Amino acid sequence: MKLIKDKDYIKAHNLEYTRSYIAVHEGRRKCAYIDSKGNRTIGIGHKMVNGDCIPDVLENEEIDDLFDMDLEEKMKLAKKLFPKLDTYPDYVFAAIMDGIFRGDLSGSPKTSKLINAGKWKEASIEYLNNKEYANAIKNNMLGIYKRMTENSYQFLQYSKALKE
């Protein structure tokens, strides 16, 4: 397995915890499928785009390599959106990375502002004030519902730990 090259990330956070947290939510599929947003996807949430030279069936090592590549790319975005990212505990870091990986957190500027302001309780509420969350409830999409609820819960737990 190819490890993420960002040494600061590896030192500051438990890489396997974050990988597991996201992989549990994404699932692991050797064969290409259509995800909830209509994207052709494979492995651990890897969105296949036109021009990708990725076969429709992958071996475990190929899945891990793609996942690490995707995670490294999402980490760069997360660090831009959340300058204090490396200061958060592992469970908060993993929840943020999970929200970035799926796209629901990077598409929520209000939640991002609340996180950056250290308003974790408000961020946990705002994170669920999201069209995708409402749609997941309406259409019985339990995976998305559970995932967003769990991420919100991590933010709320951090709020409690900080005694906000």
Strands (E), the chain: 29-34, 40-43, 46-47
| Partners of 46 in beta bridges | 42
CATH of residue 139: 1.10.530.40
- Does residue 115 form part of some domain? yes
Long-range pairs for 113-117 at CB < 8 Å and ≥24 separation? 115/82, 115/155, 116/82, 116/83, 116/84
pLDDT at 15: 80
The whole-angstrom separation of Cα 43 and Cα 67 is: 7
- Does residue 156 form part of some domain? yes
3-39, pLDDT tens digit by residue? 444 444 444 567 889 999 999 999 999 999 998 888 8
For residue 148, what are the domain limits? 7-162
- Does residue 2 form part of some domain? no
Least confident of 6-15, 64-73, 113-122: 6-15
User: Does the predicted TM-score (pTM) go above 0.85?
Assistant: yes
- Does residue 1 form part of some domain? no
- Does residue 94 form part of some domain? yes
Mean pLDDT, rounded, of the chain: 89
Sign, CA dihedral 17-55-30-105, equals positive
Mean pLDDT on 141-151: 94
Structurally, how many domains does the chain consist of? 1
